[in-house]
Chain A
Amino acid sequence: MADTTVGIPTVSVTVNGVLRRGTPEPRKTLADFLRDDCELTGTHLGCEHGVCGACTIFMDGEAVRSCLVFAVQAEGADITTIEGLSAPDGTLSVVQKAMNEAHGLQCGFCTPGFVVSITALLRDNPDPSDEEIRQGLSGNLCRCTGYQGIIKAVKIAAGQSVDANGKAH
């Protein structure tokens, strides 16, 4: 299919508080729209088939995989990407700060998806149990950390005390 926009409805979405209009092809994924059209490259694509969770964003308050949504399906939606979770001056969110403190990342490629998923998890369940944390993270893949620092980061962000091995007290 040619890359033509003729006759394609304009998409209007609010991304990180800013109204963005675009004319993506109907088949263009929301992830590609955010990365290419909105130039927000913090949303990463690790599998493009909805398993790895690196492309997780907030869409109307729900954590969704932006590789499984077409941009045109997001018409009218309120979207927050990883770039929208920290302050413009670089001040980190509680979850972002906890990821740093807990050594929750190495290569960092999966990190934006984890930060969004953890933010959603703690919003819905501010004091999760170990089991709930693991379930809450199970839709995101990491290949560097063995999840150790990430689980610890959730506990720190939830205000739970942890020892060096990430065990809650």
Chain B
Amino acid sequence: MTDTLAAPTANTGGARFVGQRVQRREDLRLVTGHGRYTDDVVVPGMLHAAFLRSDIARGVINSIDVSAARQLDGVVAVFTGADFNAEIREHWVDFEGPGGDASPFRVLADTDVRFAGDPIAVVIATSRYIAEDACELIEVDIEPSTPVIGADAALAADAPVVHAGRADNIAGAIPAAADPVLDEIFANAAHVITETIDQNRYLCVPMETRGIVSQWDPFNQELTVHISTQGPHGVRAYIGRALGIPENRIRVIMKDVGGGFGQKMFMIPDEVAVVLAGKRLGRPVKWIEDRRENLMSGLHARDDRMTVSFAVDDTFHILGVKCDLIEDVGSFNAAGSSSIGFVGLLFPGPYKIPRVGFSAKAVFTNTCGRCSYRGPWMMETAAREQMMDIAARRLGIDPLEFRRINVITSAELPYTTAAGLVYDAVSIDGSLEQAVSMVGYEAFRAEQAAARAQGRFIGLGLGLYVEPSGIAMGNMSSEAAIVSISVNGDVTAVMSSGSHGQSLETTVAQVVADRLGVDFERVTVVQGDTAATPFGPGTGGSRSAVILNGAASQASGDVRTKMLEIAAHVLEAATDDLELEAGNISVRGTPSKGISVTEVARIAYLRPQELPPGMSLGLESHARYTPNAPFTFSNSCHACVVEVDAVTGGVKVLRFIVSEDCGVMINPDVVEGQIAGGVVQGIGGVLYEEMAYDMSGNPMNTTFVDYLLPTATEVPIIEYGHIETRSSTNPGGFKGMGEGGAIGSPPAVINAVADASPTSSTGRSSSRCRRRTSAPPSTLLADPAE
């Protein structure tokens, strides 16, 4: 593959660390058991919280009797919605901004319950054991009624409303716009192919559940919150508005966080209840969500249905598409969790689709609310890539051939999609061809035919997509860095991020070290504490490589420039003649004439008389960075090979290949780690994981015995192909790729299973793959359609 990287220049720093498999500096504490997760935080006088939750999906609360619970030894307080709900002054997160159509919210269920898991009361006690005991002593009388379960029920003409006071169960909608041009395309197309694609509800499942320790200090009028989150600043701003506490009296700290995947982007009502309880009592309170709570009420994801129509001409070019999406967002969905806008915007993805018609509804149901799980809009890829296979089979051509005919090629760049998005630095056809080459597509077809002759069913599926990384809109538009070189020449990068597994302590240090020409070991990264760090929206949306490192580059660049100016003055040379490498600044061609970074730092702080005239003291810069485009597009192609047991329906993933172009790779280990984690979440979502509800609204998968995550025995070795097309949106040429693994893998797996199905070998019919809710794990049924 052509290397499209530009060489680093003297002004931007070298590439001694960027691009290297630098080993993570987070690991020393984490592999030895010395990380600091929220449950590891212990504060003197700390109390413990436990929640009583509704086991009924929908009903009116007739009464709540907490008297017996309050009398239990060790119980300090029991609070209900009547105690807390009126305390909330404003309920909106930075992502939404004020005045928007905020999601329904209350701290605790008061008049009614709206999903099984809805928190009704919180017990505060001297131990978690006692708090849980006391929950069992609370008497709640609920008059149940028929819950709204599933999108069809939500949209039924006589459907009860999930949220009292709303006219219907519509959480958001994009109506179908009249488009006579598209209608004309469909009317005259040689082929029109329509299919409905379902996606089951599956969840983020971070290994660390939620947790919070809230300390209100009435004597300093200060709130300190340790929380398992994806970003401390959003938590601080939200609490400030909700409780009427000035932001500068709130300190939010996140140390190590055991994964988030979108679930921990925003606070949930339970966490707000803990803050309120602690403030009311003037005591520190800890709540550690248990796994059942995390699965039942910690926010859900996916659960979509999309009907897609392709209009195709007689040379198999896609002329237009129509899509209609229905999302089930549950009851109390998180801000931004409905992705209907993004799905329509991104649907054309990697293909030349001249015209797109899109309509959508997001609906409330009496189930746990939705959050923005890794690639929240990925239904566009899940549905489109399945449709590519379905359409190809109905057209009688190979799915690869259909993709090759329609893919956007590098020769066609810059390419503007039907929705107006511009791709300039992508390699979509390159990643398709790299994945196809790595998997050995032609040889596989021969192997598949031979296997079928022996009664074995193997299949190959592709998933091709363009990922809108580094999303820079609204509160997500920027990240910030404060980079300084201190008196002894050590570098500190204080970052706006909220790392929860992304290796940012390592990768940011790589970027800063290169920009400053110092050793990696001299750079320390600080993050996750509102008392020390500048505002950031939280780590998510594949933003850190692009936006956070943009900030790191910008601040480091300022410091670098100043260092060179000081050195030039001291060395009596022009800055353009200086080289900065390995902690030393020297005059090019005269290596003996130089000065160390440490010496420059000492001048900057301790010997102002040696500075150039008029220069301010110090070596530090605070930069807030926004990329020069709202999206930084990366691209990828997944290729999955499976074998389906014709008797049991069991699926074994034999190979999984990912060709990825995330621009300049900062650390290939981190890139591959992110890809692998996302891919396996996608494999899990298709083959093993499902959060199902029965018709009474009971969640059926609230333990790890019922909600099955993939283990080491189910996943193949993932094979990576890298293409590095430098991005134009940011100084490092980076692109985000944190979500892509979870976007491309589900359709690749489903397409592989469908491809293994004997019905597809006839060339006559299409086949599609549907998950059967009642099926045993790892079982998919390939239905002949039509």
Which of A107, A135, A138 meets B500, CB within 8 Å?
A107
Of the candidates B32, B126, B290, B502, the one having the most CB atoms from chain A within 10 angstroms of its own CB is B32
Interface assignment of A110: CB less than 8 Å from any CB of chain B: yes
Per the CB 8 Å criterion, the residue count for chain B at the interface is 66
The segment from B204-212, B522-530, B625-633, B638-646 found at the interface with A is B204-212
A44 to B209, CA, bound (A): 11
A2 to B125, CA, bound (A): 10
CB of B24 within 8 A of CB of A143, answer no
The segment from B10-18, B218-226, B301-309, B711-719 found at the interface with A is B711-719
CB of B259 within 8 A of CB of A143, answer yes
A28 to B705, CA, bound (A): 22
Given contacts A45-B39, A54-B207, contact A82 B501 (CB under 8 A): no
CB of B704 within 8 A of CB of A47, answer yes
46-69 of chain B: CB within 8 A of chain A: none
Which of B28, B207, B676 meets A90, CB within 8 Å?
B28
Q: Which residue of A lies closest to B500 (CB)?
A: A107
Chain B, interface SS category: loop
Taking the nearest CB of chain A, how far is it from the CB of B255, in angstroms? 11
Taking the nearest CB of chain A, how far is it from the CB of B520, in angstroms? 15
Interface assignment of A51: CB less than 8 Å from any CB of chain B: yes
A1 to B37, CA, bound (A): 28
Given contacts A100-B27, A148-B718, contact A138 B712 (CB under 8 A): yes
CB of B37 within 8 A of CB of A109, answer yes
CB of B30 within 8 A of CB of A108, answer yes
CB of B677 within 8 A of CB of A145, answer yes
Taking the nearest CB of chain A, how far is it from the CB of B580, in angstroms? 30
Given contacts A54-B207, A143-B677, contact A27 B719 (CB under 8 A): no
CB of A112 within 8 A of CB of B207, answer no
The segment from A6-14, A35-43, A69-77 found at the interface with B is A35-43
CB of A52 within 8 A of CB of B704, answer yes
A2 to B207, CA, bound (A): 31
Of the candidates B258, B503, B670, B680, the one having the most CB atoms from chain A within 10 angstroms of its own CB is B258
Which of A3, A99, A144, A147 meets B259, CB within 8 Å?
A144
What B residues does A167 contact at CB under 8 A? 717
CB of A109 within 8 A of CB of B704, answer no
Q: Which residue of B lies closest to A153 (CB)?
A: B31
CB of B673 within 8 A of CB of A144, answer yes
Interface assignment of B611: CB less than 8 Å from any CB of chain A: no
Which of A44, A96, A137 meets B711, CB within 8 Å?
A137
What B residues does A133 contact at CB under 8 A? 712
CB of B207 within 8 A of CB of A146, answer no
Interface assignment of B313: CB less than 8 Å from any CB of chain A: no
CB of B32 within 8 A of CB of A103, answer no
87-101 of chain A: CB within 8 A of chain B: 90, 92, 96, 99-101
A108 to B676, CA, bound (A): 15
What A residues does B717 contact at CB under 8 A? 148, 151, 165-167
Interface assignment of A78: CB less than 8 Å from any CB of chain B: no
Given contacts A3-B74, A146-B715, A149-B673, contact A90 B129 (CB under 8 A): no
Q: Which residue of B lies closest to A85 (CB)?
A: B32
Interface assignment of B681: CB less than 8 Å from any CB of chain A: yes
What A residues does B23 contact at CB under 8 A? 100-101, 103
Which of A48, A105, A147 meets B715, CB within 8 Å?
A147
CB of A103 within 8 A of CB of B258, answer no
CB of A112 within 8 A of CB of B673, answer no
A134 to B713, CA, bound (A): 5
List 30 interface pairs A-B (beta carbons < 8 Å), by A numbering. A1-B129, A41-B33, A44-B39, A44-B207, A44-B208, A46-B209, A48-B291, A51-B705, A82-B32, A83-B34, A96-B32, A103-B24, A103-B673, A105-B24, A106-B502, A106-B503, A107-B259, A107-B501, A109-B258, A110-B207, A142-B207, A143-B261, A146-B678, A147-B712, A148-B672, A148-B715, A148-B717, A151-B717, A165-B717, A165-B720
- 3 closest Cβ contacts across the A-B interface? A42-B33, A109-B258, A108-B30
New A-B contacts (20) at CB < 8 Å, excluding given A103-B670, A148-B715: A3-B74, A27-B129, A41-B37, A42-B34, A44-B258, A46-B209, A48-B291, A51-B703, A96-B31, A103-B21, A106-B501, A106-B674, A107-B259, A109-B207, A109-B208, A110-B207, A112-B31, A143-B261, A145-B673, A145-B677
